[in-house]
Amino acid sequence: MRSLLTVICIGLLGGALTLVAQAQDPGQGQDQNPKGVIKGIVIDEVPDYEGADFEQDPKNMEKVMMGGVPAGRWKEGLLFEGISPQPWLKSAANWMPGTEKVQPNEMRITFMGTAPMLRPGQMNTSIYVELGNGNSFIFDMGEGAVTNYLASGIPINKLNDIFLTHLHVDHFGSIPWVYAFGAWAGRWHEPLRITGPSGRTEKDGVAYMVEGMKMMMHWHREAFSVFPTAWEIEVNEFDFADAGGTAYEKDGVKVIHWPASHAKDGASGYRLDWNGLSFCYTGDTRPNTLDIKYCKGVDVMISETQPEVIAISSGVQGVPPFVGRYTMDTHHTPSYAAGWIFNQVQPRIAMTTHMPFDPYINAETVAEVREHWKGPFHFGAPDMVVVNVTKDQIWVRDGVVPDYPNVRAPNSDASVQKYGGLVVPVPPFRREDLQSQFIRDAEIDPKKYYPKGYHPVLMEHWPVDKPLFIPENQIPDSMKSD
């Protein structure tokens, strides 16, 4: 104990002693310690770490090194039982892409989009759930949220299993981009899977939205079909009125749904259970008893919320007070109500999202939630809030992602599982099939703009007429799962 603590203390104190010496010993050459005893300045000779120059009493050493550390002697007052960082986290303050694997018995939740109104610090709502069995799920895919998925190092073709709460565009606006670029960037051997509620009529359900999206993107889909692409979408549309119905059940994961009150039939909430861990997400809704019933006992409950500062926010956000009041009272959950519902559900941690994150309003939101809920609480905003969940611990951090990330290489897992290697399909079309000859004739001869001595071998046609097969052992590591 003594020798270990001595080494630690020397490491911690060495730098500080040097600075003190420079401040107190302007001469730097005078012998300030003829006996070699440290009294706030560095000595010239090598000190005797085991001798009288340094503290040797283990009890005194322990007092220093254990200062400020509870070690079971007391409980720090700001935290709740079980709210503490797991030992494998690289940083208790921040999550950074590619630094931590989800542990076998862990659930990780990341808020990729957190607001109804788009702005640089908050994309539209999207929640990413990763499980220790390797599965991942997306709950809502609002406009702009895809940027945070890409910045987090997730390959485009791995963005799949999307569960939509309802069909307001701030909850599905990124799907056209995911559909289009995932098909181009390696989603060649599995469909894009989208799950969501039906509505009062056929036109109100998620399947109709998907068909409309495909029609809207006809030009894009054909134009991109000069590349290896696959455009299949698998839609699982459930009955919105089937409260407690199963939306997904596979690999030990079960997702159930129930109706949400959002001014029109066809909105839903979700709960996911896996390996003794669970989370629920209300989606956009008025306060209702179904959220209490189906979220009861979850580890993490996520509710949308809007604080009761309608008139003040109208001056900040530019929304007339009567519009704000009517919108909340017909569509959304006031923060007072969110706290009341949390208190009925009693989750291990309660969180709010789909909310403005602004200095003038944050403290008010907390105060309103705290009117009824006294347990663990954290904002699911702004973007990139990360929650690590195990049976014993929950910890919330800020994710740190680059402003200008590069897109990760396509993932080959689906192809390897199906074929034992990477299969690259043949493009459905050639340029000649889609473009008039006179337009290509107007292209400038590359010899006129490439400098002398430089002329790449152009690839104006897809070079093969059959699919390519790359054995698993020749697939680059960048295209494999971590």
Segment 29-52, tens digit of pLDDT: 444 444 455 455 555 666 777 777
Confidence of residue 113 (pLDDT cuts 50, 70, 90): very high
Segment (H or E) for 269: strand 268-274
Q: Does domain 94-399 have CATH number 4.10.95.10?
A: no
Per residue in 345-373, pLDDT tens? 999 999 999 999 999 999 999 999 999 99
Structure token pair of residue 83: 């709210």
Is residue 10 over pLDDT 70? no
- pLDDT band per the 50, 70, 90 thresholds, residue 82: very high
Q: Examine the pLDDT at 450 and tell me if it is beyond 80.
A: yes
For range 167-193, the mean pLDDT: 97
The pLDDT assigned to 467 comes to 96
Of the CA atoms within 13 Å of residue 149, those in its CB half-sphere come to 31
Q: What is the mean pLDDT of residues 62-79?
A: 82
3-state SS, residue 379: strand
Pairwise CA distance, residues 111 & 382, whole Å: 8
Rounded CA-CA distance 401/97 in Å is: 7
Query: Which pLDDT score, from 0 to 100, does residue 5 have?
Result: 41
Buried-state track 219-253, b at ≥16 Cβ within 10 A, e below 16: eebeebbbebbbbebebebbebebeeeebbeeeeb
- The residue extents of the domains of the chain are 2-65, 94-399, 413-479
Residue 67 has pLDDT above 70, yes or no: yes
> Could you tell me the CA-to-CA distances from 294 to 32, 333, 397 in Å, in that order?
73, 17, 27
- Give me the helix-helix angle, 310-317 and 321-331, nearest 10°: 120
Report the alpha-carbon angle 397-313-288, nearest 5.
Answer: 70
Q: Is 375 exposed, middle or buried (0-12, 13-18, 19+ CB in 10 A)?
A: middle
Task: Taking residues 414-427, report their average pLDDT.
Answer: 95
CA-to-CA distance for 138 and 128, rounded, in angstroms?
Answer: 5
CB-based burial label for 52 (10 Å; 0-12, 13-18, 19+): exposed
From 111, 112, 114, 116, select the one nearest 328 (Cα to Cα).
Answer: 116
Rounded to the nearest 5 percent, the helix, strand and coil shares of the chain are: 30, 20, 50
Q: Which helix (H) or strand (E) holds 193?
A: strand 192-197
Confidence category of residue 4, pLDDT binned at 50, 70, 90? very low
pLDDT at 86 over 80: yes
pLDDT digits (tens, 9 = 90+) for 387-402: 999 999 999 999 999 9
pLDDT of residue 319: 85
Residues 222 and 429 sit within 8 Å (Cβ to Cβ): yes
CB 276, CB 391: distance < 8 Å: yes
Query: Which neighbouring-strand residues pair with 468?
Result: 424
Q: What φ, ψ does residue 388 adopt, rounded to 5°?
A: -100, 125
Q: Is the pLDDT of residue 6 over 50?
A: no
pLDDT tens-place string over residues 232-275: 999 999 999 999 999 999 999 999 999 999 999 999 999 999 99
Tokens for 350?
């309660």
**Residue 103 confidence (pLDDT) above 60:** yes
Mean pLDDT taken over the chain: 90
Please report the pLDDT score of residue 41 as a whole number.
Answer: 53
